[in-house]
Amino acid sequence: SDVCSSDLSYNTDDKAHYDKEHVVISKCSRGIDYHIVLKELGTKLAEALKQYYEFDYRVFVDTGILSDRMLAYSSGLGFIGNNNFLINEKYGSFIFIGHILLDTNIEHDRIKCVDNKCGYCDFCLKACPMRAYNDVNSFDYSKCISFLNQSGIEFYKTNYIYGCDICQNVCPFNKNAVKTIHNEFIVDEKLYSLPNDEALSITKEQFDKTYSDSSLYWRGFANFKKNVDMVILKRKHEPN
């Protein structure tokens, strides 16, 4: 058997308002659900390969027992950064990863894994308001804002109501990273940077209509509202 690993940039121009008057949805949940996009592209790639090889296959995006990140690293698509993200030197770390599992071996060039190029940089470690990083490659997911707000667990010190981009936003490899060309992830800022009053007043019907194609939708309206209320309420008690 063999594995074909791929990554896809979702690095868009960020026009979110990171102030006390707005709540924010992270880049990974803006636009069409990446599981759908990557699975469609993976299927097209597999079908194209079947013109040259005979095989059966399955496409995985965050759904298999194998680690998408480690498969991508083993395929030479990037290195594992100090923040534990896969980082591609051209596209940075704002990349979705998927893989195709084949029931045969196919010819390919020799693959060389890429060594960590972060060096002693610790921007990401220091930027995390929850101190989820104890040291380089030492990550406590239970403190990660993205884990907390997706799980409906109490969190604070952030604008994010779903996901989090803080440690990636400060990464030097993302400063000049190539932006995505995939329109599925390019949406109006009003959909991911919501004024407080608008976020507080959104109904389930509005939520369903606006975010049913997004990867945040599967967590449901209750999780969305709980996070909105939590972030805005905590801000009211923060010192200016």
Question: Please, which residues have CB within 8 angstroms of residue 161's CB and are 6 or more apart in sequence?
Answer: 23, 24, 25, 149, 199, 224, 227, 228, 231
Structure tokens at 100: 């195709």
- The 10s digit of each residue's pLDDT in 90-126 is 999 999 999 999 999 888 888 889 999 999 999 999 9
Looking at residue 236, its pLDDT comes to 67
- The 10s digit of each residue's pLDDT in 172-196 is 999 999 999 999 999 999 999 999 9
Looking at residue 48, its pLDDT comes to 95
What percentage of residues in the chain have a pLDDT greater than 90? 78
pTM exceeds 0.85 for this model: yes
Question: Please, which residues have CB within 8 angstroms of residue 120's CB and are 6 or more apart in sequence?
Answer: none
C-alpha closest to that of 213 among 187, 238, 237: 187
Dist. CA 13–CA 188, nearest whole Å: 10
CA distances from 13 to 94, 101, 109 (A): 12, 33, 34
- The 10s digit of each residue's pLDDT in 203-225 is 999 999 999 999 999 999 999 99
Dist. CA 45–CA 233, nearest whole Å: 47
pLDDT confidence tier of residue 154, bands split at 50, 70 and 90? confident
Dist. CA 92–CA 71, nearest whole Å: 17
| Residues annotated catalytic, as ranges | 62
pLDDT confidence tier of residue 239, bands split at 50, 70 and 90? low
- The 10s digit of each residue's pLDDT in 30-50 is 999 999 999 999 999 999 999
Q: Which residue has the higher pLDDT, 239 or 44?
A: 44
Dist. CA 189–CA 30, nearest whole Å: 9
Structure tokens at 90: 């051209």
CB 220 within 8 A of CB 34: no
